[in-house]
Each structure stands twice: as C-alpha cells, then as structure tokens.
Amino acid sequence: MKQPWNFSSYLRLAAAFLRRGRLPALLLAVARKSGKPGPRFNALKDDLRLLQGLCMAWWQGEYRAISSQALLAVVAALLYFVTPLDALPDWLPMVGFIDDLAVLAWVLRTWSDELAAYRAWRDAQAPEALEVIERLPDEQSLALDKPKP
C-alpha cells in the first residue's frame, strides 16, 4: 500500500527525533493534543495510547521486538499528528484532522502485524509493570534532560 503524500519527510524527522533523544517530548505533545476536550479524537484515543505505549516501551528498552521501519513509521505518524501545518492545517474547521486520521490509519493498517505483536506482549505484562513502562514523562523531567547550550 502506498504511503501518504509527503510522509517520507516525516520519516526523516522521525529518525532525527530518535537520534536526538526527543521521543519523550513528542509523546508528551501527542498526549496534550489528544487530551483536548471534544469528539474529534475519541475514536483515536485507544490507537494513540497504543502507539504511545509502544514508543515508551521501546524508549525504556523494555520492548525491542519491532522493526526499525515500523518504529520510524509510528514516530513519523505521531509527528504528523502533532504538526498543525500539514496537508490539511489543523485549524481548518471540520477537515483539519482528516489527514491526521488518514496517516494514523495507514500506519495502523500497514504495520498491523507489528502492532499486534506489541499488543500481545503488552497484554502479558503485569498491570503494575505496564504502568511504569508506559508512563509518559512530565514537563519537569523533560526540562532537566535538555542539553545545556
């Protein structure tokens, strides 16, 4: 299946985010955006939580059974989701999030086997352990981790 338009530029951004250690900040931005009130993200909340959990488990070294291509695609889709100026700017009423939904749906469909494997691993974890593994960082800890100029 053909990747979404301009997705390759988000793949390059995803690689840079991973290289620079910026994944936790991205996941926090996804949580902020998807946590806004309103019906537009209700259908996506579980999928976004799955992708965030996968990224945090990978980041913490708890889950590495994902191909680098799948991980890059997940991170790229999350970058696309938080970027307000993409194919359809998010501020456009009623249509601004259609492209975000399409990109996320494409990643979920394209990498469904990899995501199913993560879901199975996740379901096998003790709830207490999973809570620690998937916990997003807070703003304060991210500020402490930033390199000094």
Question: For residue 24, what pLDDT is reported?
Answer: 92
What Cα–Cα distance (Å) separates residue 92 from each residue in 45, 60, 99?
A: 21, 36, 11
pLDDT value of residue 18: 94
Whether 148 is in a domain gets the answer no
Residue 105 within any structural domain of the chain: yes
Q: What is the pLDDT of residue 137?
A: 77
**Domain count of the fold of the chain:** 1
Whole-model pTM? 0.83
* 146 is a domain residue: no
pLDDT digits (tens, 9 = 90+) for 108-142: 999 999 999 999 999 999 999 999 998 887 765 65
The answer to whether residue 2 sits within a structural domain is: no
Evaluate whether residue 142 is within a structural domain: no
Q: Which residues contact 77 (CB under 8 A, 6 or more apart)?
A: 10, 51, 103, 104, 106, 107
pLDDT digits (tens, 9 = 90+) for 8-47: 899 999 999 999 999 999 999 888 887 766 666 666 788 9
Cα distance between residue 126 and residue 122, in whole Å: 9
Residue 145 lies in a domain: no
81-92 pLDDT per residue, tens: 888 765 555 445
Judge whether 90 lies within some domain.
Answer: yes
Q: Which residue segment(s) compose the domain that 83 sits in?
A: 7-137
For residue 78, being part of any structural domain is answered with yes
